[in-house]
Amino acid sequence: MNSKAFTSLVFLFLSLTVLFFLLWIFNKDAQVDYRVLLGGNLLLFIVGMVSLRMNTNAMKHQNTQGFLRLVYGAFILKFFVLAIVAFVYIAIFKKAINKPALFGCFGMYFIYIFLEMRSVMKLSKKPNA
């Protein structure tokens, strides 16, 4: 795995975790459930690491089928894991869904995707990817 991509994902995860903990401590009367944000951050980090590993391994394949299998597999894995977790959260908390936290997780998803895709695109431009 590319160490710069790994480092950037770990840095993003740690900085968001510290930010959410500080907001949770100093902003007790907020409308946001920080437990949902922290759980979403952890889930996005784990899924992002697996997806990043699959995408970087795809760059090493000599044939197109192996490349496409890993790239599409990473997308499908990410999609289904996040969709299942969102549906479980919605099914459990029906009336007590914290919409600001859910939209915060949605925003974090885009941040993680941007960081992961930027790392993969940089890797793809290297001659010996």
Mark out the alpha helices in the chain (DSSP H runs).
3-26, 34-59, 64-93, 99-124
* Residue 58 placed within a domain: yes
Question: Which domain does 13 fall in, by range?
Answer: 3-124
pLDDT of residue 127: 66
* Residue 75 placed within a domain: yes
21-38 pLDDT, tens per residue?
999 998 888 889 999 999
* Residue 99 placed within a domain: yes
* Residue 129 placed within a domain: no
Mean pLDDT of the region 108-123: 88
Distance CA 13, CA 19 (A): 10
* Residue 29 placed within a domain: yes
Residue predicted with more confidence, 127 or 84: 84
Question: pTM score > 0.85 for this model?
Answer: yes
How many distinct structural domains can be found in the chain?
1
49-82 pLDDT, tens per residue?
999 888 888 888 888 888 888 888 988 999 999 9
Query: Do residues 36 and 90 make contact, with C-beta atoms less than 8 angstroms apart?
Result: no
* Residue 62 placed within a domain: yes
